[in-house]
Structure 1
Amino acid sequence: MKKRNYNSKFTKKQFIVLIVCISTGFMIGYSYNLAKDEVKMNSNYLEQEESYREELISQQERNKELTEELIALQTKRREYEKDFAENEEEYEHLLKEAENLRLLLGEIPAHGEGIRVTLKDGEYNPNSTNPNEYIVHESHVFNVINELKVSGAEAISINGQRLKSNSYIRCNGPVITIDGKQYPAPFIIEAVGDQETLISALKITGGVFDQLLNDRIVVTIEENDYIQMPSINDE
């Protein structure tokens, strides 16, 4: 009887040990899995951190490149500003020359003070056997135009048509043809420019005005405070 009680107590101890072993094993397994998950999480975190670090380094390098590019552009801009400041007068002179050239070519509208020259055929002379002696010819028109150009006229028109640098002019009796367009007499030549200079050039002794009078052409020269001409592209 005592022996059986001893075996019963022993079995109870074994059961307790078994429970403890199972619990311990469970705790060890749980700790192992927890540690494994933690290691995995730490590994993922390290990988993500490394990715962020590489991206940050890449952005820093790009920012450095952009900063260097900005500094280079700012340096170039300062050089341009310095160069422009040193050559401002030269630039203004070149711009003015370009503007004058565009005016002469007729590429832009012209306006300002100027003069108006009117050419008419002379009165009919029954005693004259040659009517060409008092008719306006293209040579008369050319003489006026050339003198106006030499005197600094910015723009010239005949009967309202703006002249180009290569305009074709031909007279045929009472009609003048300019670049294929015909206009009847009288021939009105307008020029934009300094009035005093233009008139003085035409009326110089022995100049165009005297030659026209000698050819019995009726000539009138008038000042005009405001003349406006379209560009050749607007006509």
Structure 2
Amino acid sequence: MNNKKKNSKGSFFSRKQFELLIVCVTTGFIIGYSYNQAKDNREAGTINSELFEQEDSYREELITQQERNKELTEELNSLQEQIRKYEKSFASDEKDYKKLVEQAEDLRLLLGELKSDGKGIRITLQDGDYDPKSLNPNDYIVHESHVFKLLNELKISGAQAIAINGQRVMANSYIRCNGPVITIDGTQHPAPFVIEAVGDSDTLMASLNLNGGVVDQLLNDNIVVSLEEHQKLIMPRVKVES
């Protein structure tokens, strides 16, 4: 009988201990869960705070980049405007340079430094038929003044190159009349005098045939004048003695 009670008492303490164990385990679980939940909340709060700071940093960086892009755009527009100004300046300089080159080439042609060929005209001057009734036979001879009139008119009308009896005439050529002979830079040429000019043949012919122009003046001085247009005239460059 006593043994039975003793066993029953021992079993009773075992249940209490078991219940206490369950309570302790449950309490521990609740405490652990609460701790983990609080930890997770703290970590989530920390992460949210970090994300907010990172987002704020990105926002500031974006604003900075936008301002920098605006500055670069303004700088690019300024540089493009400078380039446009330079292009206009270069175009103007190129035109001026091209014009200067053309002028230099025209001068070299007149000086005889360059070979010249192209369309042009040929003028032949001959002494007029002498009239025995005339008091002065020189009134029927071609003089240097006649040649100079013709040369000046050809140059004014745009002749690129001029030759007399095949001799190239330069800008500083010396022409002198000695009776029926004309001397050009020390070389004598008898009549008739064939003057060739390279240039726009229409312009050259029109300028010579003006009313009261050079041809009319030569005819009034009893000079025989003939004019021809040519599609191809060739004049070699002047050989300068060294």
Instruction: Tell me, yes or no, whether TM beats 0.5.
Output: yes
What's the offset of the Cα at 1:90? 2.3
Deviation string 1:12-59 (CA, Å, 9 cap, x unpaired) is xxxxxxxxxxxxxxxxxxxxxxxxxxxxxxxxxxxxxxxxxxxxxxxx
Following the alignment from structure 2 to structure 1, what is the Cα–Cα distance between the partners of residues 148 and 174? 11
From 104, 109, 120, give the equivalent of 1:114.
120
Indicate whether 1:200 and 2:206 are aligned: yes
Partner of 1:182: 188
Residues 6-17 of structure 1 aligned to structure 2 (within 5 Å) = none
Partner of 1:224: 230
What's the offset of the Cα at 1:231? 1.0
SS in 1 for 2:228: strand
From 162, 167, 170, give the equivalent of 1:164.
170
Number of residues of Structure 1 aligned to a counterpart in Structure 2: 156
What's the offset of the Cα at 1:88? 2.4
What's the offset of the Cα at 1:87? 2.9
Partner of 2:142: 136
Residues 88-107 of structure 1 aligned to structure 2 (within 5 Å) = 88-107=94-113
Q: Which amino acid aligns with 1:205?
A: N
Following the alignment from structure 2 to structure 1, what is the Cα–Cα distance between the partners of residues 96 and 217? 41
Partner of 1:150: 156
SS in 1 for 2:118: strand
Q: Report which of the two structures shows the higher radius of gyration computed on alpha carbons.
A: 2
Following the alignment from structure 1 to structure 2, what is the Cα–Cα distance between the partners of residues 218 and 108? 32
Following the alignment from structure 1 to structure 2, what is the Cα–Cα distance between the partners of residues 89 and 138? 40
- What percentage of residue pairs aligned between the two structures are identical? 63
Q: Which amino acid aligns with 1:93?
A: K
Point out 4+ residue stretches in structure 1 off by more than 4 angstroms. Answer: 81-86
* TM-score computed with the length of structure 1 as normaliser: 0.63
What's the offset of the Cα at 1:125? 1.1
Deviation string 1:160-182 (CA, Å, 9 cap, x unpaired) is 11111110001112211000001
SS in 1 for 2:173: coil
Change (3 A) 1:128 1:85: closer
Alpha-carbon RMSD: 1.9
Deviation string 1:117-158 (CA, Å, 9 cap, x unpaired) is 100000121111210111111100000000001111001111
